[in-house]
Amino acid sequence: MARKKSDQLTDGEQNIMQLLWKQGEMSVKDVADALSQDKPTAYTTAQTMCKILVDKGYAEFRKDGRAFLYKAKITEHDARQGALSSLLNKFFGNSPELLAQHLMQETDIELRDLEALQQKINKVKD
């Protein structure tokens, strides 16, 4: 049985979205060239990944002559929000409190960071 396709971003897709958020509209060649600065990336690989981003609803494209130009369809903030919602649902029973407890127990969060977070919480309460 085929596994269900995820609507979450893979690392490679995330890298392309970072480019689109930063650069705006890009051709597949521009995407492949930018990705190749870190790791050799074939044009066809970049093309496939861009198509997947369109299918997942993260990007859109337009045709300009023979080139396809891709741009982000959602903001980075909205993508973050979707990923966080998925994380909360999948691992923390939709409980932000459990996530916060986990972060405090499992990371090396500094006291000053916790104090800054508490100040933000206090502002929301007021």
- CATH no. for residue 42? 1.10.10.10
Pairing, β 26-27 against β 59-64: unpaired
| pLDDT under 50: residue ranges of the chain | none
- The whole-model pTM stands at 0.81
Q: Is there a domain that residue 43 lies in?
A: yes
The parent domain of residue 110 ranges over 96-126
Residue 111 pLDDT: 82
Residues β-bridged to residue 69: 27, 62
Residue 35 pLDDT: 97
Amino acid at 64: D
Residue 101 pLDDT: 86
For residues 118 and 126, what is the distance between their CA atoms, to the nearest angstrom?
12
Residues 28 and 62 in one domain: yes
Q: Is there a domain that residue 86 lies in?
A: no
